Amino acid sequence: MPPNFDDDLPDLSTPEWRAKFAKAKPQRGRPKAARTKVSTTIRLSPEVLEHFKAGGPGWQTRIDEALRKAAGL
């Protein structure tokens, strides 16, 4: 007979747990930055895109950093 894991679970219908659930503020998605980025479309040469993607995840951030540096920001 398989173990009964329900024995270790708290009873979430108790007043204590109901009060905790009532106070909890649901958060959906990732946290918003004070200043969010803008979604846009840009055409880049295949070589430039290949260069940044070769660095692995975060390639869009690296492109943003390179453009900020070129813009003197």
pLDDT at 72 over 70: yes
Tokens of 9: 């679970």
Mean pLDDT of 21-43: 86
Asked if the structure places residue 56 within a domain, the reply is yes
**Whole-number pLDDT of residue 30:** 79
pTM over 0.85: no
pLDDT at 36 over 60: yes
Tokens of 1: 């007979």
Distances in Å between the Cα of 5 and the Cα atoms of 1, 10, 36 are 12, 11, 43
When divided into structural domains, the chain yields a total of: 1
Average pLDDT, the chain: 88
Asked if the structure places residue 12 within a domain, the reply is no
Distance CA 45, CA 72 (A): 22
Tokens of 52: 């940044």
Asked if the structure places residue 10 within a domain, the reply is no
Domain that holds residue 71: 41-73
Q: What is the pLDDT of residues 51-70, one digit of tens each?
A: 999 999 999 999 999 999 99
**Whole-number pLDDT of residue 2:** 59
Instruction: Tell me the CA end-to-end span of the chain in Å, nearest whole number.
Output: 65
Asked if the structure places residue 50 within a domain, the reply is yes
Asked if the structure places residue 58 within a domain, the reply is yes
